[in-house]
Amino acid sequence: MRRRMVLAGIGIGLLAFTGQAATLPGAGAFSFASIDGGIVDLADWRGKPVLVVNTASLCGFAGQFDDLQALHERYGARGLLVLAVPSDDFNQELADAQAVKEYCAVNFDLTLPMTDITHVRGAQAHPFYKWMAAEHGFTPGWNFNKVLIGAQGEVLGTWGSAVKPTAGAITKRIEPLLR
């Protein structure tokens, strides 16, 4: 009886963590609050690749917003979701989501989907990033770390800040996944 209660508790814990029944999810089990209001649900992109990038407006790597937008324009119609995840975990983000949205629109003509300001590391990290740390040993070490998610929610690659989103190491992984 006690064992069943423990197992039931584990199942409930997984349900609370992933929003799904007691199975370990792929990345498609997660959703983010959108900077525009509403939700960006990765499950809506199952069957398509997703590039998730933690960003910060005031970071020295912010020029990569241009590359993220270029990927969005080049591959978006073929199925790629480029998702910017603004974070102030490295103290380089603006004060609120509206300021981030305006800054990115004015300075980078950004039209790709963005989340609300989100924690990407530590105890307050978004469940996606907690899952990446626990299941894949990946925690962003700085802004503009990239995670490529495959069609079934599997992690296909991670890259640090120094690797541009348009680098061959990333685009060569994306292109075979497109329709």
The answer as to whether 143 is a domain residue is yes
The answer as to whether 46 is a domain residue is yes
The answer as to whether 16 is a domain residue is no
152 or 111, which is more confident: 111
The answer as to whether 151 is a domain residue is yes
The total number of structural domains in the chain stands at 1
Q: Cα separation of 54 and 31, whole Å?
A: 15
Domain of residue 115, residue span: 26-177
Q: Residue 39 has which token pair?
A: 């939700």
Q: Cα separation of 101 and 41, whole Å?
A: 19
What percent of the chain shows pLDDT beyond 90? 78
Residue 69: HSE in the Cβ half-sphere, 13 Å Cα cutoff:
12
What percent of the chain shows pLDDT beyond 70? 86
Q: Which residues contact 142 (CB under 8 A, 6 or more apart)?
A: 59, 61, 90, 160, 161
pLDDT of residue 117: 98
pLDDT of residue 8: 35
The answer as to whether 50 is a domain residue is yes
The answer as to whether 20 is a domain residue is no
Find out whether 49 and 62 touch, Cβ atoms under 8 Å: no
Q: Report the pLDDT averaged over residues 81-102.
A: 97
121-158: pLDDT as tens digits: 999 999 999 999 999 999 999 999 999 999 888 999 99
The answer as to whether 17 is a domain residue is no
pLDDT of residue 54: 98
**Which CATH number goes with the domain that contains 98?**
3.40.30.10
What residues are labeled active site? Answer: 59
The answer as to whether 2 is a domain residue is no
